[in-house]
Structure 1
Amino acid sequence: MKGLPGGMAQLMKQANQMQMRMKKAQEELAVKEYEATSGGGAVKVKVNGDHMIVSLAIDPEVLKSGDVEMLQDMILSATNEAVKTARDTSAKEMEKISGGMNIPGLF
């Protein structure tokens, strides 16, 4: 960073440090898991920080009703809630690092 005016060199250094902190946070968030349920716990879905489903549990009692549409709705509801939690958690962590600045390309 030689040749840059003092203030600009410091700004570049801070931006690089922020980017490294964000990358580390993203790596940590990717391995976290987020669980949501629906139907009073009849369906449980767990997703990771990359929004991939890592587990799905269905209470066998739900299957006895034979209501496929209800089961599908419960799976969708639990999955969407788990993904929303993962996304919201990630956004909050990135905001802590960036100080609320929305910097395109960093996350």
Structure 2
Amino acid sequence: MGMGNMNKMMKQMQKMQAQVARLQEELGERTVEASAGGGVVKVTANGRQELVNIKIDPAAVDPEDVEMLQDLILAAVNEALHQSQEMVTREMAKITGNIRLPGF
């Protein structure tokens, strides 16, 4: 590999690194929402896989069946995190051309 090709490859890598850094910042502001129980529990997560909001319809709060509410919350959280990860994967693929980078 010639020096010119090496320099070109290094510039491409630096450009990709800058794009990834910018995307990571943007993903912190992008959100996905998932719900469970027909919408009685709604969870919002950002592209950093952080939960940013949980809404629970008061009708879902039954002191006699706390376990059901816990299950609904878990289902909504897991789905929101799954959607968030898929969003990250899609956006990273746009930058990397489907090359899997460690940590993404």
- Shift, 1:91, TM fit: 0.7
- Shift, 1:8, TM fit: 0.3
Q: How does 1:83-98 map to 2 (within 5 A)?
A: 83-98=81-96
**After superposition, what is the alpha-carbon deviation per residue over 1:6-64, rounded to whole angstroms, capped at 9, x for unaligned?**
11000000011011111111110111111110000010111122222211111111114
Following the alignment from structure 1 to structure 2, what is the Cα–Cα distance between the partners of residues 24 and 84?
A: 22
Question: Is residue 2:82 matched to residue 1:77?
Answer: no
Q: Once superposed, which parts of structure 1, at least 4 consecutive aligned residues long, lie more than 6 Å away?
A: none
- Shift, 1:86, TM fit: 0.6
Following the alignment from structure 2 to structure 1, what is the Cα–Cα distance between the partners of residues 56 and 98?
A: 39
- Structure 1, 49-58 or 59-68: larger mean CA deviation: 59-68
Q: Which runs of 5+ in 1 are unaligned?
A: none
TM-score normalized by the length of structure 1? 0.88
Given residue 92 of structure 2, which amino acid in structure 1 is its aligned partner? M
Following the alignment from structure 1 to structure 2, what is the Cα–Cα distance between the partners of residues 68 and 103?
A: 41
Q: Equivalent residue of 1:100, what SS?
A: coil
Which of the residues 53, 56, 73 maps onto 1:55?
53
Q: Equivalent residue of 2:28, what SS?
A: helix
TM-score normalized by the length of structure 2? 0.90
**Match of 1:32?**
30
- Shift, 1:66, TM fit: 2.6
Q: Equivalent residue of 1:31, what SS?
A: coil
- Shift, 1:83, TM fit: 0.6
Following the alignment from structure 1 to structure 2, what is the Cα–Cα distance between the partners of residues 100 and 50?
A: 19
Question: Is residue 2:61 matched to residue 1:46?
Answer: no
**Match of 2:8?**
10
